[in-house]
Amino acid sequence: MTQRTSPARGKTQTQIRAEARTRESKALDLRLLGYSHDRIARELGYAHRSAAKKAIDRALAGIPREAAKQLRDIELERLDLAQRSLADGIVRGNLGAIDRLLRIMDHRAKLLGLYEPQADSGIAEVAAVLGAWLGKVREEDDALDADLPDREPQTPQDPLEGENARQRRAGSV
């Protein structure tokens, strides 16, 4: 099998992929040490913090679930520690501490996947079945209406008209 080389650097595609995996692994290691995405991007030469985050996500996708769970647990412990350190400020009503708490809560929710769309509960399927059933009922109703002789629609009676007639009869007796 012949490996293609990258004309820009003279490296094979395999070498480039191996270097990318190594860099992703380093990015994950730095994140485990508590480095921010900005700092990881600077340290490893990523163009933007989002590129560093994507590299970490790719590294996480490549490791076993148990190791990813351990990383998530470490991050959750850090968030708990940060939240506990804000307790006094929150109780005193410090708006900066409250704002920081909300950011920690948001990060925890993202980490736990609470913002992810939930699995379909089957409501769409039930709605489709009921819609099909309603369509058949309407077709049958239209078919039955077609069998009826044509007649002019009756105008609805004013409900007070019947009441007035009863009152007139009662008053004239």
Nearest by Cα to 70 from 45, 25, 78: 78
Q: What mean pLDDT do residues 4-17 have?
A: 70
Query: Measuring CA to CA, which residue among 130, 123, 84 is closest to residue 104?
Result: 84
CA 60 to CA 69: how far, in whole Å?
Answer: 10
Task: Mark whether 48 and 13 lie in a shared domain.
Answer: yes
pLDDT at 80: 93
Is residue 127 included in any domain, yes or no? no
In a domain, 170, yes or no: no
- Asked, for residue 103, whether it belongs to a domain, the answer is yes
- Provide the mean pLDDT of the chain: 81
Tokens of 151: 């007649």
- Tell me phi and psi for residue 119, to 5 degrees: -60, 150
What is the number of structural domains in the chain?
2
| Structure tokens belonging to residue 13 | 């595609």
Q: Please tell me whether residues 71 and 98 are part of one structural domain.
A: yes
Tens-place pLDDT, residues 60-90? 887 777 777 888 888 999 999 999 999 999 9
Say if residue 76 is in the same domain as residue 105. yes
Question: Does residue 3 belong to any structural domain of this protein?
Answer: no
Nearest residue to 24 (alpha-carbon basis) of 40, 48, 8, 36 = 40
Same domain, 102 and 74: yes
> Is residue 110 included in any domain, yes or no?
yes
Q: How far apart are CA 35 and CA 173, in angstroms?
A: 97
**Burial of residue 59 (number of CB atoms within 10 Å: 0-12, 13-18, 19+):** buried
The predicted pLDDT at position 6 comes to: 45
Q: Write the secondary structure of 65-77 as one string of H (helix), E (strand) and C (coil).
A: HHHHHHHHHHHHH
pLDDT at 46: 93
Q: Which domain holds residue 100?
A: 65-116
pLDDT tens digits, 111-164: 888 887 766 667 777 778 888 888 888 888 887 777 666 666 565 566 566 666
> Same structural domain for residues 33 and 13?
yes
Please state which of the ranges 29-33, 93-97, 120-124, 150-154 shows the lowest mean pLDDT: 150-154
If asked whether residues 71 and 51 sit together in one domain, one would say no
Say if residue 81 is in the same domain as residue 100: yes
Asked whether residue 72 is domain-assigned, the answer is yes
| Residue whose C-alpha is closest to residue 105's, from 80, 85, 88, 87 | 80
Last residue of a domain, one of 97, 116, 135: 116
132 within some domain: no
Query: Residue 114 corresponds to which amino acid?
Result: L
What is the pLDDT, as a whole number, of residue 84?
A: 95
In a domain, 131, yes or no: no
**pTM flag (> 0.85):** no
- Among residues 63, 78, 99, the one where a domain terminates is 63
